[in-house]
Amino acid sequence: MIRRYMIFYFLACTVFAFGAQVVVEASSHPTQMLSSMEQLGKELFFDTNLSTPKFQSCATCHNPEVGWTGPDMNINAHGAVYEGAVRGRFGNRKPPSSGYATVSPNFYYDIDEGLFIGGNFWDGRATGWDLGNPAADQARGPFLNPVEQNNPDKKTVIYKVCNSAYKQLFKDEFMVKYPGMNACDPANTEKAYDFIALVIAEYEDSSEVNQFTSKFDYWMNGMATLTAQEEWGMELYKGKGKCVLCHVMDGQGPNGEDLFTDFTFDNIGVPKNPKNPFYKMDKVYLDDGMPINPKGKYWIDPGLGGFLKGLADPDNQMWRNSPHVTNVKDFTNEELMTLAADNYGKHKVPTLRNVDLKMNDGFVKAYMHNGVFKSLKEVVHFYNTRDVESWPPPEVAENVNVDELGALGLTEAEEEAIVAFMKTLSDGYNVPITGERLYKNFCKSCHGSADPANMMPPPTAANMMPPPTAPRKVIGARTCSIKGAIYGTYVFKGGVYPMRTFKGAFTDMQTKMISDYLNDFNGITGQQRFTTTCAGCHGMDAKGGRVDEDITGEDAHDIFEAIQDEDPMYFLKCLLYTPDDIHDIGYYLMMLDYDDDDSDDDEYDDEYDDDEKEDDRYDHDDSDKYEHDD
């Protein structure tokens, strides 16, 4: 009898580690843990007070629910350009996604390919040359842009942050980077402003933004299955559709993930968006009396070419001394003017991650730099038929890519298949939960493979975990419940032993899934179950037997007196074992015959036989309790 109690108690030692993982990671789209810097960046990103007038944050145009881009479907369905903090003021392009923006390199020129690569914004002008990070360079812009957040100067932005609810976090993190300096001291305005941009980029680089949790990512890791259409679409994407030539799949992510962009610039012949409100900005004036867009409806977006032309301006040469400037500085102004003409009308190749992420199926997203297209199907059809069907003329006729798109010869079914594949790139995919997946994610690290051929080998005297060296008692324990939280405070030599506090978070249905998965493996013996589950706390001697002599019968009884229902199955049921599994372990322990007192063995034998009758009720309980998932 005592032997059974001893194993029941110490199996709880394995549960606390098991349960702690489940609480955090049971979801396929887990809550992300942010560092203090990332959390500060998040506060700044979503702060609607950092505009003049207030109510416009970064998230106003870069919303996580739609892939970190524009969240208003009415705007997306028309001009696709978002209004600034001042009513009636509009910029010239639709908001690019801020998701996965941090993986872009600093803007440079690839001499071998003859291409400009990297940077942020549609035209690449957030180069990373100042702060060493294109996303940080980008984050400095909107605060002071009169058609976006419209703050008059950097001091205004710092003042607002220093009077925010998170001001202390801002001061603390600033002091970590600049010891002894006060972020809110006007003398530190330049440093503080750049620090804000760097912190926002830190958040944008976090796993909360760059999640890599799409169906495609799970498929790459063997945790999801693509449909036949999705797999066909992927093959077309790589082959006949030529998508992969620019939206590459070369594993350049931080952990080898595909980024679906080569960070280059291209003119694919996109038509003008006649509903772009920027064409009417010749009648809207800034505080200095100048119109936002003097050219009105005759304005043409120069893209990268316009940025390069600006670099060649003789009055704008300070960029050459930027701390992180790349080989672009080696070009003369004359060479930059030539390159500007060669890149006129080209825009950044965006990542396709989250390209179809929406609030709902009816939500309208806008595509291309000017938002002229309103669905992925329309985009793919344009790539396929630009040169063989009647489309509006390109906004910029020069430098149009005629080699990689325009007449691909895709059928409608092939277009649909490519769209289906691109839809697998949205983060937040809910992976179908199976018993095998749950077991491998949360159980295998401690319990080993469920396959008897691959289970953890029995510990030896040389490598076994030593047994506990002092008796432990349970106080204030509550009834175990797999589908709820279970708490227990354990006393170790008179003091609280906090590592014995644990939670379980599997539903009945998930529990049954794991149990069914384990039951698929026949031939697992009681010794194997003891070795992989119990020996971690009980230990094994050189002969493969138990090492638990330090636990007394009085201790075992104290343990179970604290359990409300005094259920001898308590801990083993928490570990997802069936009554048959428990019997196998008990029989194995009985056969070891380690007690010197044979009468104890007889008592254990009798108790073991008597408890078989009680175990029938667990078979009955399991039959109906797993029929629904709470």
Q: What is the DSSP string of 44-67?
A: HHT-TTSSSSSS--GGGTSBGGGT
Cβ atoms 122, 303 nearer than 8 A: yes
What's the pLDDT score for residue 452?
A: 44
Is 33 in a helix, a strand, or coil? Answer: coil
Cα dist from 467 to 414, 491, 575, whole Å: 63, 17, 20
pLDDT at 622 over 90: no
At residue 223 the predicted structure's pLDDT band, cuts being 50, 70 and 90, is confident
- Residue 623: enclosing H or E segment and its boundaries? helix 598-625
Residue with tokens 């606390």: 16
Cβ atoms 349, 263 nearer than 8 A: yes
The pLDDT of 597-603, averaged and rounded, is 45
DSSP state of 537: H
Mean pLDDT check: name the lowest of 321-325, 460-464, 485-489.
485-489
| Centroid of chain to Cα 532 | 32
Q: Which of 230, 233, 159, 223 is nearest to 196 (CA)?
A: 159
Mean pLDDT check: name the lowest of 180-194, 249-263, 576-590.
576-590
pLDDT at 422 over 80: yes
How do residues 367-395 score in pLDDT, each as one tens digit?
999 999 999 999 999 999 999 999 999 99
pLDDT at 545 over 60: no
The pLDDT of 610-625, averaged and rounded, is 41
- The rounded distance, in Å, linking the Cα atoms of 55 and 287 is 20
Residue 285, beta-bridge partner list: 291
The pLDDT of 185-206, averaged and rounded, is 98
Cβ atoms 269, 278 nearer than 8 A: no
How do residues 520-538 score in pLDDT, each as one tens digit?
654 556 666 556 556 555 5
132: left (phi over 0), alpha (psi -120 to 50) or beta: left
DSSP conformation letters of 372-419? -B-SHHHHHHHHHHTTTS--PPBS--TT---SSSS-----HHHHHHHH
At residue 272 the predicted structure's pLDDT band, cuts being 50, 70 and 90, is very high
What's the pLDDT score for residue 396?
A: 98
pLDDT at 493 over 80: no
What angle is formed at CA 150 by the lines to CA 145 and CA 152, rounded to 5 degrees? 95
How is residue 5 written in tokens? 């109690």
CB-CB neighbours of 472 under 10 Å: 19
How is residue 389 written in tokens? 């069907």
At residue 595 the predicted structure's pLDDT band, cuts being 50, 70 and 90, is very low
pLDDT at 166 over 90: yes
pLDDT at 467 over 80: no
Cβ atoms 424, 230 nearer than 8 A: yes
pTM above 0.85, yes or no: no
- The rounded distance, in Å, linking the Cα atoms of 365 and 363 is 7
How do residues 107-135 score in pLDDT, each as one tens digit?
999 999 999 999 999 999 999 999 999 99
- What amino acid occupies position 185? D
How is residue 334 written in tokens? 């004359």
pLDDT at 559 over 60: no
Residue 496, beta-bridge partner list: 491
Cβ atoms 613, 7 nearer than 8 A: no
Cβ atoms 213, 29 nearer than 8 A: yes
What's the pLDDT score for residue 524?
A: 56
Strands 489-492 and 472-475, sheet pairing: antiparallel
What's the pLDDT score for residue 602?
A: 47
Cα dihedral 518/524/530/536 (nearest 10): -60
pLDDT at 511 over 90: no
- The rounded distance, in Å, linking the Cα atoms of 568 and 154 is 67
Residue with tokens 């082959």: 239
What's the pLDDT score for residue 184?
A: 98
Residue with tokens 């709820």: 484
How is residue 67 written in tokens? 């892939």
Residue with tokens 């996580």: 64
Cβ atoms 348, 370 nearer than 8 A: no
What's the pLDDT score for residue 33?
A: 82
End-to-end, the C-alpha distance of the chain in Å comes to 35
Q: Give the burial class of 321: count Cβ atoms within 10 A of its Cβ; 0-12 exposed, 13-18 middle, 19 or more buried.
A: exposed
- The rounded distance, in Å, linking the Cα atoms of 91 and 278 is 6
pLDDT at 462 over 80: no
Q: Which of 422, 371, 399, 376 is nearest to 122 (CA)?
A: 371
Q: Give the burial class of 152: count Cβ atoms within 10 A of its Cβ; 0-12 exposed, 13-18 middle, 19 or more buried.
A: exposed
How is residue 36 written in tokens? 């203090």
**Which one is predicted more confidently, 455 or 436?**
436
Give me the helices (H) in 66-208, please: 73-76, 134-139, 141-144, 154-161, 167-177, 189-204
Cβ atoms 218, 433 nearer than 8 A: no
pLDDT, the chain, mean: 78
Cβ atoms 4, 568 nearer than 8 A: yes
pLDDT at 289 over 60: yes
Cα dihedral 176/178/179/180 (nearest 10): -130
Q: Which of 260, 142, 259 is nearest to 200 (CA)?
A: 142
Cα dihedral 386/391/397/398 (nearest 10): -10
How do residues 26-68 score in pLDDT, each as one tens digit?
233 344 589 999 999 999 999 999 999 999 999 999 999 999 9
